[in-house]
Chain A
Amino acid sequence: MFVTAAYAQSTTTEGAETHDAAAGEVHTETGVAHEGGHGSGVFPPFDTSTFASQLLWLAITFGLFYLLMSKVVMPRIGGILETRNDTIARDLDDASRSKAEADAAIAAYEQELTAAKAKGNAIASTAREAAKAKATADRTAVEVSLNNKISAAEARIADIKTKALADVGAIAEETATAVVEQLIGGKVSKAEIASAVKASAK
């Protein structure tokens, strides 16, 4: 319609050039014929004669595509992704469990170490205490025996001293008796001499 209107306009304005107009007519006619060869001569996407076929085939292909996607492809891709996520989650779980185990092992080790240290300290201090006690006991025993010896020695010294002192009296009496006998030639009673010695010793 538009083409023919344009043609009509061109023929009225350029009526003199009939040859050109004729050429134009031929050209437009071939153009129409060319378009008409494909269908009703409209712009192809708006050619309603092809709509039914396109809709049918779209329905068939898209329907089939939908089925294939929803039944085959999507479960498969979803399965792959799910498996991957599961694997990652499981690996992470394993890792965290291993870490927990390692932590527990470290804690147990630390605990045992502490216990062993405590035990070692206890043994050491017991030994030290025992040694100290033994040393004290030994020292006490030595001191006691020394004291005994000292006191025994002192007793003996005192005894000897007493004896000696007693001997001193007897010697003095003998000496005095002898001295008196020599000096005066007479006999003096023992009792007198003894009292005299005693009096001079005081």
Chain B
Amino acid sequence: MAGDKVDPVHQFVVNKIIPIEIGGIDFSFTNASLFMVATLVVATCFLYFTTSTRSLVPGRMQSVSEISYEFIASMLREGAGSHGMKFFPMVFSLFMFILTANMLGMVPYFFTVTSQIVVTFALALFVIGTVLFYGFYKHGLGFLNVFVPSGVPGILLPLVIAIEVISFLSRPISLSVRLFANMLAGHITLKVFAGFVASLGTLGALGIGGAILPLIMTVALTGLNSSCPSSRPMSLRC
């Protein structure tokens, strides 16, 4: 179908590859699942095999792994102090998983796992859930004090508490929507411009000449989107 080619939404469609149904709920292995597995395999293999020599003086690839590790570690230490380092495996996994998923999504015809709101929302809920669980586990009900800023006049307190609670609850939504919308919009824009190139290219010499502009745009957007995925995982930072 000709419309299929330039349909910018088509790339987000989830197709069943192996239909699985348990208890009337659809748990099929889809292309989304396939790329989650691909993300898992690619990220793990990269981190595993680049560090397999355990060189004292790292090569390029080993440096990439080490820099990722140290970058996330320093980010976490700055953000949460040395107490936060017990969440390091979680933050590192999240960071690498999202980064790899985003990078894989940049490959043409590949599915972008993080363009599905349910995925980003689940990850954000996971983070917030961990914060809540650990907060209540560590401080009990005293954890609720985070909603009561110190040094606020008594009259303003109900208002401030309400604002704090709302901002806390809206955080998973804002985080997940940020990543999801970035991925979605980036890929749709890319697809639309790339579609222009293909459509104009079929119109003869003038069309090919005219296609240069969207082609440049496509290249530029690919560069932009490739640099963005590395910053995207930071969106999940609290």
Chain A interface (Cβ < 8 Å from any Cβ of B): 31, 34, 38-39, 43-47, 49-62, 64-66, 68-70, 72-74, 76-81, 83-84, 87
Contact = CB atoms under 8 A, between A and B. Distances in A.
Interface of B: 1, 3-4, 9, 12-15, 20, 25-30, 32-33, 36-37, 39-40, 43-44, 47-48, 51, 54-56, 58, 62, 65-66, 69-70, 88-90, 92-93, 96-97, 113, 115-119, 122-123, 180, 184
Nearest to A70: B89
Contact of A81 (B12, B29, B44, B69): B69
A53 B28 contact: yes
Contacts of B119: 54, 58
A50 B122 contact: no
A64 B55 CA distance: 27
B contact face: mostly helix, strand, loop, or mixed: helix
Given A45-B116, A66-B90, A72 B43 contact: no
B44 A73 contact: yes
Q: Sort A-B residue pairs by CB-CB distance and give the 5 closest, nearest first.
A: A70-B89, A57-B33, A61-B36, A44-B12, A50-B14
A65 B93 contact: yes
A73 B118 CA distance: 27
A84 B56 contact: yes
A49 B15 CA distance: 11
A34 B25 CA distance: 24
23 contacts: A34-B3, A34-B4, A38-B15, A44-B14, A45-B118, A52-B26, A53-B26, A53-B30, A57-B30, A57-B33, A58-B119, A58-B122, A59-B122, A62-B36, A62-B123, A64-B40, A65-B44, A66-B90, A68-B44, A80-B54, A80-B55, A80-B66, A84-B56
B27 A53 contact: yes
Given A50-B30, A54-B14, 10 more contacts: A34-B4, A45-B115, A51-B118, A54-B119, A58-B119, A58-B123, A62-B97, A68-B48, A70-B89, A72-B48
A87 to B, nearest CB: 6
Nearest to B14: A50
A65 B51 contact: no
Contacts of B51: 73, 76-77, 80
A57 B44 contact: no
Nearest to B70: A81
A69 B122 contact: no
A contact face: mostly helix, strand, loop, or mixed: helix
B36 A55 contact: no
Contacts of B28: 53
B79 to A, nearest CB: 18
A52 B33 CA distance: 11
B47 A77 contact: yes
A178 to B, nearest CB: 135
A62 B93 contact: yes
A83 B66 contact: no
A53 B117 contact: no
Contacts of B117: 45-46
A74 B12 contact: no
B33 A45 contact: no
A44 B13 contact: yes
Given A54-B116, A81-B70, A73 B184 contact: no
A70 B92 CA distance: 9
Contacts of B12: 43-45
Contacts of B25: 52
